[in-house]
Amino acid sequence: MLILGTGIAGLRSAIEVLKASNEKLSVGVISKVHLMRSHSVAPEGGAAAVLSENDSFEQHAYDTIKGSDFLADQDVVEEFVRRCPEEILQLEHWGCPWSRNEDGSIALRLFGAHEVPRTVFAEDRTGHFLMRTLYDTLLRYQNFERYDEFFAVSLVVEEGRFSGLLALKRKDTSPVFFKARAIILATGGLGRLWEFTTNAHTTTGDGFAMAFKAGIPLKDMEFIQWLPTCMVPHGIPATEALRGHGAILLNSEGERFMKRYAPEKMDLAARDIISRAIMQEIMEGRGWKSHGNMDSVLLDARPVGEEKLLTIYRTFVENARDFIGIDPLTELVPVRPAAHFSMGGIDVDIGMKTEVMGVFAAGEVACASIDGANRLGSNSLPMCLVTGAIAGRSAVSYAIRKKESVKVSKKRIFEEVDSIEKIIGKRGDFGVYSLIKRLQRTMEKNVHVFREEKGLLEALKTIRQLKEDYLNVGLSDSSRAFNVELIHLLELGFMLDVAEVIVTSALMRRESRGAHYRLDFPYRDDNKWLRHTIARCRNGGVEISYKPVRITKWKPEERRY
């Protein structure tokens, strides 16, 4: 059994595979970086779960579905919210140091678009503590092997079944073929397709692209979440939890502008609504010109109070002081939306299974339709835990049933290895980094908070030209040891494939829903577009089809915050 990715979803999957199989299955845990360098260490805010008497599964499910702009599959959401508390309590039993109330109970705080406080946290290092807890728990098992700093190149599928994974050992660029009955893809996000992003440099959409190329459809890829409050010019998040404790947004005139966009929730509306509001203020001339000549609005964190800022929000304070030279205890912080999270991903069912036998997915790279068109804040960490656990159990069930191995085409593997060998030291007309920059600037300009047909067509034209230029890229580094330029080139190939899917999906969806806002089609259209976008790889291009959203209890209605 292989686990590709060692963030929260990957580690949770690995633990579940070992636990559910009673360690009868050997597990290979593969990461493109050192295991604890996963981007999952970064989240500060917390994890949503129903843990108080004032809350209910019904309320959490409704908040999630409303936040999704009614594109979430409601049966999946109902199952998700029921499993969230189980995962939180399981993490507590494994040793996660959740922040506490004075009576010893787990503390809960309010996040945007939640009707009640339900977000558990571990000071402002929630992702870090989750990762440490999961890693410590994994070490209690024996039958697994770590493969740190292995770069996955492609999934090998034979006769409709997964047969193995081709990867490069980054230490010396040697190819390695991992043969296995099953794989769980937990490769995280794709935020590095944009210039201004909250994501680590490793989040380049690898898993999305490998699945797509292997014939597995991607779903709802036009829906990219922008985190509204990211510090300019670096994209470092000013966590949403700050606004739950009183921080407010101001324009250059000192006005609390959210009263015009979400009069009830104000600064605690859904992320897509706040992101559009910020960009609208900037477009209408009420922005603030700040670091790097970037337009922004201002976050006033002073209402949170010095005690909280120096304890549960000290990371935010340190980042503001160290990276932009501003002290949030006394000054306003310039912020604007940054690319943050992909609501879409590899199309999986409620058991985290894909169309290809033996391939499962979990975490951000998977799309079981929990998030729909807009993810509810603080749902991502429990989503990684829940989908990781489900994927682990499903993969074990499959691997135990399918004991016979799949015959592998050595010719195909040799061809792929040979194509990579020819790249090393290759001379060409284009450099890797110039192409990456062109892609990021194109996505930033044309595939952002506000979109329209003209810009999307321009983006698609540029991406296709970049794919042609990619074939004529030269590498200045011909060494075998830790050839970072080669890895970035391979990542660029993944990024271009994923970008084409995102833009094609966005161009086809002629409505505005959640994080996908079309200036030329500014209204939601449930009659035509209450359906999921399905993208398949066909003849080297993107083929789009659709399937219905599953609705159980909550009929679509106008979102008001």
pLDDT at 495: 98
| Residue 306 belongs to domain with CATH number | 3.90.700.10
> Would 334 be classed as within a structural domain?
yes
Domain boundary among 338, 357, 379: 338
Judge if 334 and 243 occupy the same domain.
yes
Which structural domain range is residue 333 located in?
A: 229-338
pLDDT at 206: 98
- Angle (CA) 87-93-94 rounded to 5° is 90
Whether the bond between 117 and the residue before it is cis, its omega within 30 degrees of 0, is: no
> Would 332 be classed as within a structural domain?
yes
> Would 496 be classed as within a structural domain?
yes
Domain boundary among 290, 322, 338: 338
> Would 293 be classed as within a structural domain?
yes
**CA–CA distance, 373 with 460 (Å, rounded to integer):** 21
- Residue written as token pair 């089809």: 545
> Would 514 be classed as within a structural domain?
yes
The per-residue pLDDT for range 446-491, each reduced to its tens digit, is 999 999 999 999 999 999 999 999 999 999 998 999 999 999 999 9
pLDDT at 96: 97
Nearest to 423 by CA among 489, 365, 326, 481: 489
The per-residue pLDDT for range 512-558, each reduced to its tens digit, is 999 999 999 999 999 999 999 999 999 889 999 999 999 999 999 99
Element of type H or E holding 136: helix 126-138
Domain boundary among 287, 315, 338: 338
Q: How many domains does the chain have?
A: 2
| Residue 444 belongs to domain with CATH number | 1.20.58.100
**CA–CA distance, 316 with 328 (Å, rounded to integer):** 8
Dihedral in degrees, nearest 10, Cα atoms 233, 270, 389, 362: -60
Q: Are 21 and 223 in contact (CB under 8 A)?
A: no
Judge if 324 and 428 occupy the same domain.
no
pLDDT at 306: 96
pLDDT at 127: 96
> Would 215 be classed as within a structural domain?
no
Residues, the chain: 561
pLDDT at 402: 82
pTM of the model: 0.96
Output phi, psi for 150, to 5 deg: -115, 125
> Would 136 be classed as within a structural domain?
no
Q: Which residues of the chain have pLDDT under 70?
A: 405
Q: 139 CB contacts (<8 Å, ≥6 apart)?
A: none
Q: Are 378 and 356 in contact (CB under 8 A)?
A: no
Nearest to 177 by CA among 202, 150, 204, 146: 150
> Would 379 be classed as within a structural domain?
no
Q: Are 238 and 301 in contact (CB under 8 A)?
A: yes
**CA–CA distance, 247 with 483 (Å, rounded to integer):** 44
DSSP summary character for residue 251:
-
Q: Of the listed 109, 192, 271, 524, which one is catalytic?
A: 271
Judge if 333 and 416 occupy the same domain.
no
Nearest to 250 by CA among 236, 267, 233: 267
118: annotated active-site residue: no
The per-residue pLDDT for range 337-373, each reduced to its tens digit, is 999 999 999 999 999 999 999 999 999 999 999 999 9
